[in-house]
Amino acid sequence: AQKITQTQPGMFVQEKEAVTLDCTYDTSDQSYGLFWYKQPSSGEMIFLIYQGSYDEQNATEGRYSLNFQKARKSANLVISASQLGDSAMYFCAMREAGNQFYFGTGTSLTVIP
Amino acid sequence: DAMVIQNPRYQVTQFGKPVTLSCSQTLNHNVMYWYQQKSSQAPKLLFHYYDKDFNNEADTPDNFQSRRPNTSFCFLDIRSPGLGDAAMYLCATSRNQRNQPQHFGDGTRLSIL
């Protein structure tokens, strides 16, 4: 079974609108971390936001927020007030015990002017 | 600024000619990773080091080797590159804690002639 599932290969959003990128995960661990990364066309992977499994509040970082629903095992990324520079691939990842990160297949976001 | 540096940014080699990619970090993280990423795909973990402990993924070809002579440096050696090895190679570092993200270098794009 896939550890991380991102079901949206591509998404479009109008500039200044909000967009939600979906991520579901599969783990039997009680303690784990969820991460979102942005990868522009230039190739570097940029860490955006983190959510711990025991965190009761949804994580927020500027225009990024994480809609964490533990019972549903989902950790969706919300980008508010989209900008042209937000056009990129977005990867959801999970870290369980140990040092391995599990990545989803990514969502390609295009912001339309 | 503390960072992860990969050299070179672009590497061209000939079919079957050994090539080495390098990664250095100033973050003093004890975990270092090498990923292979092909176009429009998620990064694929090749191996990682936790301090000097080497962890190879089961499906990493024998053609790929790694060295970590000290905390700061990690190398990826491809002994006999094939056309299928053309990809972006990403180095990442992390602390050995579940809530810690990975920090990535800008990647090395490898082409095989």
Average pLDDT score over chain A: 95
> Using H for helix, E for strand and C for coil, what is the string for chain A?
CCCEECCCCEEEEECCCCEEECCEECCCCCCCEEEEEEECCCCCCEEEEEEECCCCCCCEECCEEEEEECCCCEEEEEECCCCHHHCEEEEEEEECCCCCEEECCCEEEEEEC
Chain A residues with CB-CB distance to B101 below 8 A: 35, 47, 50
Least confident of A46-55, A84-93, A96-105, B58-67: A96-105
B61 CB-near residues (< 8 Å, 6+ apart): none
pLDDT at A98: 81
Which residues 45-84 on chain A approach chain B with CB closer than 8 angstroms?
Answer: 45-47, 50, 52
Query: By CA distance, what is B53's nearest residue in A?
Result: A99
Whether residue B105 and residue A33 make contact (CB cut-off 8 A), yes or no, is no
pLDDT averaged per 10 residues in sequence order, chain B, 113 residues:
88 96 96 94 94 93 96 96 96 91 95 95
What pLDDT, in 10s, does the model give residues A57-91?
Answer: 999 999 999 999 999 999 999 999 999 999 999 99
pLDDT for A1 beyond 80: no
What pLDDT, in 10s, does the model give residues B40-71?
Answer: 899 999 999 999 999 999 999 999 999 999 99
pLDDT at B69: 96
* Amino acid identity, position A39: Q
Q: How many residues does chain B have?
A: 113
pLDDT at B2: 63
The average pLDDT across A5-31 equals 96
